[in-house]
Amino acid sequence: AVMVDVSGKPDTVRFAVATEAFEQAKTATKKGSPIMIAELAGIMGAKKTSDLIPLCHPLPLSNVKVEISPDAALSRLHVTARAKTTGKTGVEMEALTAVSVACLTLYDMLKAIDKSMVIGAITLREKAGGKSGHFTNEQTT
């Protein structure tokens, strides 16, 4: 993975209003493999959740897995994150943060190809443990 040197570029006023570069996402760009780098970024994001989300407890994560799977029929990338810990509070925010950071990384990796990409619904699909027990979001299954 390589961070592009932008120090030689002139400062300009910039703004962003956030389809995807589906085919390019499956191959390497100048920065490397978008999917592999986004999966790593998602894991890193999960580990930093308490730094990013106010009042989120820092958690000793025992496992974080981020998977990005291409859906050729819809020209989409599906991002799934699973976070695991043993403790007093759940890992929903860590999983959601992992997906969010992975999606933003994909956008960053592919924006030179397609600035019109859309980051879609990020939802909690399932959680287990704790006082509230097992939850499955019927809308996402």
φ and ψ at 135, to 5 degrees?
-130, 135
Annotated active-site residue in 5, 51, 71, 108: 108
| Catalytic status, residue 114 | no
Q: Find, among 77, 73, 67, the residue nearest to 24 by Cα.
A: 77
Helix, strand, coil share of the chain (percent; to 5): 30, 20, 50
8 Å CB contact between 86 and 47: no
Q: Find, among 79, 3, 5, 8, the residue nearest to 43 by Cα.
A: 79
Q: Which amino acid is at 51?
A: D
Cα 6 from Cα 56, distance rounded (Å): 34
Residues with catalytic roles: 108
